[in-house]
Structure 1
Amino acid sequence: MSGWINFEKNNYRKFCKGSEIYDIVIKINSILDIINGWEVSYPLLEHFKKSKEFPSFLAKIQTFLSNKPSSVDEISIKKLQIKSENNRRAVVSVLGLYNKGKSYVLSRILGLKLVSSFFEHTEGLSILLSRADITEVLIGLDTKGSQKPVKYYDEAKMKDFKATERFIQTLSLNLSDIVLIVVDRLTYDDQLYIKQIKQTFRNKENIIIVHNLIHVKLIKDLEKVIKEEIVDCFDCQVKQLKDSAPYWYENDRTRHVVMACDDKDSESKIYSEAGAKMNQPTIELLQSWLLSAASTSLERFNLVDNITKFSNQIISNYLNQKIEVVLNPEETLIKANPDTWAPGEELKYSDICLSLVGLISRVSEDQDHYYISLECYGYELEDLDIKIEFVNTTKKIIIIKSELPRKIEIKENTTTLRDEFKTTHTRPLKWSFEFPILIIEEDATDIKDLDLINGLLHLTLTKNLIPILYSSISIRSKFLRSIIRKQSS
């Protein structure tokens, strides 16, 4: 059936070229919704089904598949074209803080104009197949922005929102070949966010910072911002190929590009000379980089399947329960396997601490053990000093620290207002946790289950339940003795 993709791909491209709609949307409003399921929708397909072209399009497919059952339906079409499991593609994720223009940048690269403005925000994880000349090789992941405001202050809602936001970003990073980070005028939060992405996404050459300067119209203003916020803040060098837009690169090969006020905005009454000069050449440069990345991508995959599989790997890092995530046969719902959790059991978050990008630490427990996960990007296991100390006779504390800086390249000799960013991520690691119940481990050598995987330190500690048992027996004995005394009197 994969032959249909090649047979009808031009028709699909022709139809979808003018459609400003996502191909796939995975509605992850909350991690905790996994019990009932995250809805997987196919907006472009639904739009296609309503068009006058759909019946004849379906007839062609049925004719082409004459040796197959005649009941080829919309689901089959969806699996053939949108799953694209026989095509090699590069996946690009667009990340950034709230309301920086991520959807706008992605839509320009992919050759369409999404409904995206100050009042429109992306839902969950939204996926686009390119409508431009790179149709065959590019998938775009659009995410809702980090640090979006919550309607009202509620500690549980805040925790849920932050955890879900970080989960989606972690998911995107691990699915992506290339990461675009969109910023407007650079802030300290943007710099901190970029630093944390670099700690998580190890291939720095495939991180591209897009400075989407939506309020800059004049060339002189653009040049000033480039000097202050790219060259000085990131210690960048400029490079420009013939007939191409300039770009700036750091020592770790992270690249920076610039866009200005939209040169295609018909509603703007002021001509943007900066946008006219920079935007289209920058888009073409980004497209060429993405095309190059796609040509080296050897992986064939079903994206929705991959999202399900990776969700299954990381979701338990956020929750106090271990669950299995599965995709239903119709590929319309990603949900928890009901066999992996007790019906009626409330799904809860672990004791987690989050950065702008993902998980910093997590502590969960069952009847016999404590399970700890700690973000240690930039360290090797031998760099870490792990100690277990008594707090009192009934509690212990674990301390994990390192006096070494993280192995992340440091920029020097800059004098800009925000260059304090360059020292914040070199602070030594120090983290501790006090256990409510005594653990049996006396020092780090007693820890049997300890590993550092993809920058996350995982370890398991065993509860010492004997003191609790003795305490329970002692209380029970006192209670029985008091009853005996009363009866004898």
Structure 2
Amino acid sequence: MSRGNHGRFFIKSGTPRSSENSLSVSEKTPEISNKTLSAILSGLELYGENENDAASNKYRTTASPYDIVVRINNLLDLRTHGWEILLGQHTKSIKSTTKGTGENGASVINEQKEGVVVSVLGAYNRGKSFLLNQLCNVSLPTGTLVHTEGISITAGRQNYTNIVFLDTAGTDTPVRNDEIEYKRAREALLREVVLHLSTFIIIVVNRLRTTDQIYINQILKYYRNSPHKKTIIIVHNLLDVEKIPDVDKIISEEIQWIFGAVQQKTQLSINGCMKDIIYFTSKQFGGTDIRHYILGRSGSEADKLWNMQTIDGIMNFLQNTDNKRNLDLINDMITFINHKLSKLFVQNSTEQTPNLQLVQHNSKPFIVLSNRRDYEDLSQRPYELKLSEQLIYDDAGYFIRNESEYWQPRYNLYEDETKYLLVLELPGFEKGVLKPRISGNSITIENIRRDLNTSMNNPIIHQSDIPTGSFKLNISFQQAIEERFTAERNEGFINLTILKKRSTEYTEPV
């Protein structure tokens, strides 16, 4: 596979920077985004300030160009050794950001580094590794026999400053029959972790299939619940398409017609030359902005027209965004997973530790259950874990949705020339409890649905499909809306009629 000139720095205007593409990955290792990677390494408890630090040498290295790999390969591994953290071969030459000590002796990152965190998602065998190779200018292994482990983190090479890419495991490889549900839960967990950590989401598809549409829709629904702004990019990796007219036909039928996308063009200054970048934009699910980019078959005429401008366009977009987050990814990952553990597993009532929590081991490069953090031999005294039988997935089976702390009510949205009609499926709330808030051109409804069982203590649960706990629904409208709305309750449904007009902040009980 040709790697091309993907080491260039992309800017909208100003003085262009020279290419360093003539260097191989190993030759340009010292020029990896040191500050970005050092901020990520600061989250590793055993990583020292220099390559000779004994703690740093506790980590095994991975032969792949990934910088950090968290081997979340099996939920059952938490019974014993947990999830190993591997480092890239070059990583130990990078110094971690200095830590201080906060309250209760907790480590604190003194230099809080921010960056763009990009999750690359897609169904099996759509070309995620191929795209990562192009974006990162590395040589990740590709092919159907190569499987990514757990969550893999790669900092941008060369001049790709403050950009981090996340890749996840997720294949159709078989497992033992008694481990199928564990595998399903693990892959759902991985999706949720990387979506939580990321500021950008890239979804890779080939020729658009119904399964891809379902995948995209479920990602967008999940994204809609996120309290943090994220940006969606869909890369149409047309790996079997060689001719430009064939690409044009697919653009017309699959991008412009199905997504309602509109062609856009921008100019970049690259190495002193102006270059046109063509991409497409669409809106989905209440106004979510999506960018679409094209890749043709490697080495074809479609490749020559589309591939380089797509990589240039994506990297320029990422490089110039203000949508960033802190880079303490390892600790944020652990914190997020800890919120999920009580829903994933049945609690062991005989164990001294009442709540399942993950931590980094005190002396070994593993993420383990907190009651095992001091074990010298992690194979000893396995912790009894059993996957919860109450796990409920979304309609496509991609995300676990029975969390007590967060769920998503279903709704229908209609529109005519003068108003919107929002029909919410929200039984179980008394009149006056729900208080929709209108601000700008969006409406927000949030509350808590309590446990529906009020008469039985410690019941045997045979089915639990109705979600409880907190929910927050935010819906944006393409037009400005009136400050007031009318509400009607109809046998468990709530109908909100919202007039189209300029709005201000408004609250009214339902």
Tell me which interval the TM-score lies in, with the shorter structure as reference length.
0.5 to 0.7
Q: Which amino acid aligns with 2:424?
A: D
Say which one has the larger Rg.
Answer: 1
Q: Displacement of 1:338 after TM fit?
A: 1.5
How does 1:445-456 map onto structure 2 within 5 Å?
Answer: 450-452=469-471
TM-score using structure 1 length: 0.62
Q: Displacement of 1:79 after TM fit?
A: 6.3
Mean CA deviation greater in 156-165 or 16-25: 16-25
Decide whether the 8 Å contact of 1:128 with 1:139 is kept in 2: yes
SS in 2 for 1:383: strand
Decide whether the 8 Å contact of 1:361 with 1:375 is kept in 2: no
Match of 1:319 in 2: 345
CA deviation profile, 1:11-40 (whole Å, cap 9, x unmatched): 998326799610000111122322331111
Q: Displacement of 1:301 after TM fit?
A: 3.5
Q: Displacement of 1:287 after TM fit?
A: 0.3
**Long gaps (5+) in structure 1:** 1-9, 50-56, 58-75, 264-271, 363-370, 389-432, 442-446, 456-489
2:389, 2:312 → 1: CA distance? 45
How does 1:9-158 map onto structure 2 within 5 Å?
Answer: 14-15=28-29, 21-36=65-80, 37-45=82-90, 77=95, 86-134=112-160, 136-145=161-170, 148-151=171-174, 154=177, 156-158=178-180
1:257, 1:129 → 2: CA distance? 22
Match of 1:211 in 2: 236
CA deviation profile, 1:388-430 (whole Å, cap 9, x unmatched): 9xxxxxxxxxxxxxxxxxxxxxxxxxxxxxxxxxxxxxxxxxx
Q: Displacement of 1:348 after TM fit?
A: 2.4
Mean CA deviation greater in 345-354 or 227-236: 345-354
1:319, 1:139 → 2: CA distance? 31
Decide whether the 8 Å contact of 2:117 with 2:163 is kept in 1: yes
SS in 2 for 1:117: coil
Matched, 1:308 2:334: yes
SS in 2 for 1:360: coil
Decide whether the 8 Å contact of 2:148 with 2:167 is kept in 1: yes
Decide whether the 8 Å contact of 2:67 with 2:87 is kept in 1: yes
Q: Which amino acid aligns with 1:110?
A: C
Q: Displacement of 1:194 after TM fit?
A: 0.5
Match of 2:311 in 1: 283
2:176, 2:408 → 1: CA distance? 27
1:13, 1:137 → 2: CA distance? 20
Decide whether the 8 Å contact of 1:85 with 1:302 is kept in 2: no
Q: Give the direction of change, closer, same or farther, for the CA distance of 1:292–1:225 in structure 2 (3 Å limit).
A: same
2:389, 2:112 → 1: CA distance? 39
How does 1:398-437 map onto structure 2 within 5 Å?
Answer: none
2:333, 2:341 → 1: CA distance? 11
Q: Give the direction of change, closer, same or farther, for the CA distance of 1:439–1:231 in structure 2 (3 Å limit).
A: farther
Q: Give the direction of change, closer, same or farther, for the CA distance of 1:13–1:382 in structure 2 (3 Å limit).
A: farther
2:370, 2:26 → 1: CA distance? 35
Matched, 1:334 2:359: no
1:172, 1:13 → 2: CA distance? 30
1:332, 1:190 → 2: CA distance? 37
Q: Displacement of 1:350 after TM fit?
A: 3.7
Q: Displacement of 1:112 after TM fit?
A: 1.6
SS in 2 for 1:113: coil
1:378, 1:12 → 2: CA distance? 52
How does 1:337-376 map onto structure 2 within 5 Å?
Answer: 337-338=370-371, 344-355=383-394, 356-361=397-402, 374-376=407-409
**Long gaps (5+) in structure 2:** 1-22, 33-62, 100-108, 268-274, 348-354, 374-380, 414-421, 430-450, 460-465, 475-510
Q: Which amino acid aligns with 1:353?
A: I
Match of 1:464 in 2: none
2:364, 2:336 → 1: CA distance? 16
How does 1:390-405 map onto structure 2 within 5 Å?
Answer: none
CA deviation profile, 1:223-252 (whole Å, cap 9, x unmatched): 111111111111111111132321111133
SS in 1 for 2:166: strand
2:187, 2:79 → 1: CA distance? 18
> Identity percentage over the alignment?
27
Higher helix content, 1 or 2: 1
Q: Which amino acid aligns with 2:153?
A: I
Aligned residues: 345
Matched, 1:386 2:408: no
SS in 2 for 1:254: strand
Q: Displacement of 1:385 after TM fit?
A: 3.2
1:204, 1:302 → 2: CA distance? 18
CA deviation profile, 1:156-177 (whole Å, cap 9, x unmatched): 3221111100100000000000
Decide whether the 8 Å contact of 1:239 with 1:247 is kept in 2: yes
Match of 1:163 in 2: 185
Higher strand content, 1 or 2: 2
